[in-house]
Amino acid sequence: MTTAFTVKSQTVLRSQICGWRGSAETIAFVPTMGALHAGHISLITKAKKHASKVVASIYVNETQFAEGEDLDTYPRDHKRDCEMLRAAGCDLVYIPEKMYDPYHSTTVNVGGPALGLETNHRAHFFGGVALIVTKLLNRVQPDIAVFGEKDYQQLLTIRRLTADLDIPVRILAAPIMREKDGLAMSSRNRYFDEESRKIAGQLNVIMRQCAEEIASGADINTATDKATIKIIKAGFDNVDYVAAADTNSLELLTGHLNNCRGRLLIAAHCKGVRLIDNCQIG
């Protein structure tokens, strides 16, 4: 059977995956919303090391956008995305024509790591993510799926979701890919003009300084408050949060780090663009 590189229909996707399963291939999956950059490609590279076939998906998932967010303007360029995926050694790109039935009535509500942080500012977000990821995993049925640490709370939410619902997939994490000045790569970075791009580049610098202070014994609230002030002084519009949390549970940490394994997580708005970033503490 000759294989198309891009598939839109669920039936064709299933028959391709079944064909591979029949030949004892293992399957890795990388879900994306397109507008790809080197961060996405690093996930494909990781996926290739862990499975014999790699499937990527491109779908801008409406259920994770709230009213007034950038669903309509989110950058879309399937031709370029597919060229990048082919060059990276991806085997199949799934671009679903339809994910939701008009009568769709099911929600997926994850607690634990999905609570707080992003959810305090984008209440709809993890419901949308959990739903699309569950549906895509059911359609592709991969052995492994790769997610970026760039969306750290999302990664832990998906780990919790797949464990709780017995979805037979291993979730692998890929490190954050950054621009030269340390700004985490993101499809939304293309919204910046030259001046706002310079300001955006300060976020990771301030984040690292804050993480170092906490690792060296500073009081967590004092260090995160100081970082918030620095972010505003750098020219950001506002800060949603700067928070230290347990690496695995994402429970917020206060006082001193002591022997906890901590992660510093940040969300802030730069000239109308919402940025998130995170790093390990210590």
| Residues identified as active-site | 40
Q: From residue 136 to residue 155, what is the string marking binding to ligand AMP with x (rule CB under 6 A)? A: -----------xx-xx----
DSSP string, 138-204: HHH--SEEEEEGGGHHHHHHHHHHHHHTT---EEEEEPPPB-TTSPBP-GGGGG--HHHHHHHTHHH
Please give the residues from 169 up to 228 whose contact with ligand AMP meets the rule CB under 6 A: 174, 176-177, 184-187
| Identified binder of ligand AMP from the candidate list 42, 57, 153, 204, rule CB under 6 A | 42
Shortest reach from residue 35's CB to ligand AMP, in Å: 7
- 132 vs 210, beta carbon nearer ligand AMP: 132
Closest CA to 193 of 275, 271, 269: 271
User: Which tokens sit at 165?
Assistant: 């619902």
Instruction: Check: CB of residue 232 under 8 Å from CB of residue 239.
Output: yes
Q: Is 43 helix (H, G, I), strand (E, B) or coil?
A: helix
Shortest reach from residue 152's CB to ligand AMP, in Å: 8
Instruction: Check: CB of residue 109 under 8 Å from CB of residue 164.
Output: no
Radius of gyration of the chain (CA): 19
By the rule CB under 6 A, 43 interacts with ligand AMP: yes
Please give the residues from 4 up to 33 whose contact with ligand AMP meets the rule CB under 6 A: 32-33
Shortest reach from residue 159's CB to ligand AMP, in Å: 12
By the rule CB under 6 A, 39 interacts with ligand AMP: yes
Rounded distance, CA 22 to CA 145, Å? Answer: 20
By the rule CB under 6 A, 242 interacts with ligand AMP: no
- 40 vs 159, beta carbon nearer ligand AMP: 40
- 74 vs 100, beta carbon nearer ligand AMP: 74
Shortest reach from residue 28's CB to ligand AMP, in Å: 13
Please give the residues from 54 up to 93 whose contact with ligand AMP meets the rule CB under 6 A: none
- 177 vs 210, beta carbon nearer ligand AMP: 177
Closest CA to 68 of 117, 119, 122, 105: 122
134-155 burial: b if 16+ Cβ within 10 Å, else e: bbbbebbbbbbbbbbbbbbbbb
Token pair 């910046």 is found at: 192
Q: Is 128 helix (H, G, I), strand (E, B) or coil?
A: helix
Q: Is 11 helix (H, G, I), strand (E, B) or coil?
A: helix
By the rule CB under 6 A, 118 interacts with ligand AMP: no
Shortest reach from residue 228's CB to ligand AMP, in Å: 23
Residues in contact with ligand AMP, total (CB under 6 A)?
17
Give the helix ranges, DSSP H, for the chain. Answer: 10-22, 38-50, 78-87, 118-121, 125-140, 152-164, 194-200, 202-215, 220-234
By the rule CB under 6 A, 278 interacts with ligand AMP: no
- 213 vs 277, beta carbon nearer ligand AMP: 277
- 196 vs 204, beta carbon nearer ligand AMP: 204
Q: Which spans of this chain sit near ligand AMP (rule: CB under 6 A)? A: 32-33, 39-40, 42-43, 147-148, 150-151, 174, 176-177, 184-187
